[in-house]
Structure 1
Amino acid sequence: MSDWNKAITEEFRANEGKVGGMYKGAALLLLTTIGRKSGKPYTVPLGYQTDAERLIIIAGNTNPDWYHNILAHPQVKIELGKESFEAIASPIEGEQKDFFLQRAHQNMKAVAQRSEDYAKVYAELADNFSKNVPVVALQRVER
């Protein structure tokens, strides 16, 4: 895990899902996948959207390790605030994918407009957003 992800993950867990810095107030979850080659668990912090009962995550680039891990092992662990649960990850394509990408783009633009400290970062993220990034639905596994 990168130092950046490790620091965010530790802060998330220590503060019941709340973090500061550029993610202050953002909808953030921790996604734990099983490595497709190693078989080891890997945890990454990700922003998310909600869609009824599903959580929607979008990659920041076109080739994240976590995405390849869920293709190999779709059962994942989610940490959301104080809560932890298992979920099934399913890639989203077509019109649904376009819808969530557009919504994410609008959210980043909105954050850029209201955040003095991180306006430039979020504006660049929004401008560089690609339709080629993976979009994934996370559906809670009921026990």
Structure 2
Amino acid sequence: MTTLKDISNIEDIKIMVDTFYANVRKDNLLGPIFNDKLQNRWAEHLEKMYGFWQTILFDVRAYSGTPFPPHKQLPVEKTHFDRWIMLFNTTIDAQFAGPLTEEAKMRATNMAHMFNHKIDYFRNQDKAL
């Protein structure tokens, strides 16, 4: 049995992000949404995600911006976020283990729940107008 190492550097983040989004692209629920939105801009998106996770996990200011606005108009519901969390956790668990790995999973789960809540909030606000 191979012992998995913890996420410890930018190369690990790149492996995590690249593998996760390769799984997203192939997923029958999430793939069509991401592929339609990103089209030929996957490399740009992955670079942003490297910086995002480097900032989150290593407190290195490699990402600036607000991640929610680009997601606000996506045609997603709780089912999509549940799948996103499941894919993220299974992807990362197959590659890494340790405190930063657990931190990444917790942060991803919290972010997915927050995005889902905020999208629902904005949709309900739009309906009320």
Relative to its length, the structure with more helix (as a share) is 2
Q: Which has the higher contact order (CA 8 A, sep 6+)?
A: 2
Relative to its length, the structure with more strand (as a share) is 1
TM-score (norm 2): 0.37
TM-score (norm 1): 0.34
